[in-house]
Amino acid sequence: MKVIILGSGTCVPSLNRNAPGYYLEAEGCRVLVDCGSGTLLQLEKAGMSYKDIDAVFITHAHPDHFADLLPLIHALLVGHEMKRKKDLSLFCAKEFLEYYEKAIAPLLWMSEEFSIIAKEASDEISFGPFHIFSAGTVHSSDSLSYRFENGGKSVVFTGDADYDPRLIAHAHQADLLIADCSFPDSMKAKGHLSAKECGMVAREAEVKKLVLSHLYPSGSPDSERVNESGEIYKGNILLAEDLMEIVL
């Protein structure tokens, strides 16, 4: 599996960190996990194309996690130099599915060549070469974490999440955990993991590698979050950077 971090930031505009978005590829299947503002441009910067995306998994209905969903679909429908044939799948919580059907779908039109298949994410999903598990998180009523498994490897995207035993179980022995590390411990915010809490989840879940992402500006170097996580978790810790590529 290959992961590209398209956006390691948040809703706060940043010249260095795009809004949340992650590209995941295995065996020719290409998906997005979240699709925040600027994700389409980040795909181009990463040398990938929006035209090839097979599915989008939305973690929850906060705009910084889905703002480019409508532009993505619009580009697929309008693109004059391409004739898309394959369907685009959308997986999300029930609440977001209802929002999509009421607020996004009415702005689109039907293509004769492909369909947009929007589904509620069940606890277990099979899509392409992936086996996917979703689990609720402590953040909002509709927030989900996703675990993708393929070829004996696993990657977990926490989405926005606070410390929770369910998250630890969900990430158990994952090869890669990409975690919401919104703030250093001194700025702990309800509904988000602090740096030390990321370390706690990684240690208790026995993950092989931890990536700290969804980084709000904090007034201190982002590298301090690595140090705080490292006080708890002694495994491999990476600080997410836009366009960082990880191969499992």
pLDDT of residue 206: 98
Q: Angle at CA 225, nearest 5°, toward 150 and 196?
A: 80
Residue 202's pLDDT is 98
Average pLDDT over residues 15-19: 96
Going by C-alpha positions, the residue among 167, 182, 233 that lies closest to residue 212 is 182
pLDDT above 90 covers a percentage of the chain that reads 91
Higher-pLDDT residue of 202 and 218 is 202
Q: Using CA atoms, how far apart are residues 21 and 6, in angstroms rounded to an integer? A: 5
pLDDT top residue among 109 and 19: 19
What would the pLDDT profile of 41-64 be if each residue is shown by its tens digit? 999 999 999 999 999 999 999 999
3 state SS of 129: coil
* b/e map 100-112, b = 16+ CB within 10 Å: beeebeeeeeebe
Domains for the chain: give ranges and CATH numbers: 2-247 (3.60.15.10)
Q: pLDDT, tens digit, for every residue of 103-112?
A: 999 999 888 8
Q: What's the pLDDT score for residue 220?
A: 87
User: For position 112, what pLDDT does the model report?
Assistant: 82
The pair of structure tokens assigned to 68 is 């480019």
Q: What is the rounded distance in angstroms from the CA atom of residue 236 to the CA atom of residue 207?
A: 9
> Mean pLDDT over all residues of the chain?
96
Q: What is the pLDDT of residue 132?
A: 98
pLDDT in tens, 144-181: 999 999 999 999 999 999 999 999 999 999 999 999 99
Please determine, for residue 81, whether its predicted confidence score (pLDDT) is greater than 70: no
Structure tokens at 61: 């209905």
d(CA 45, CA 56): 19
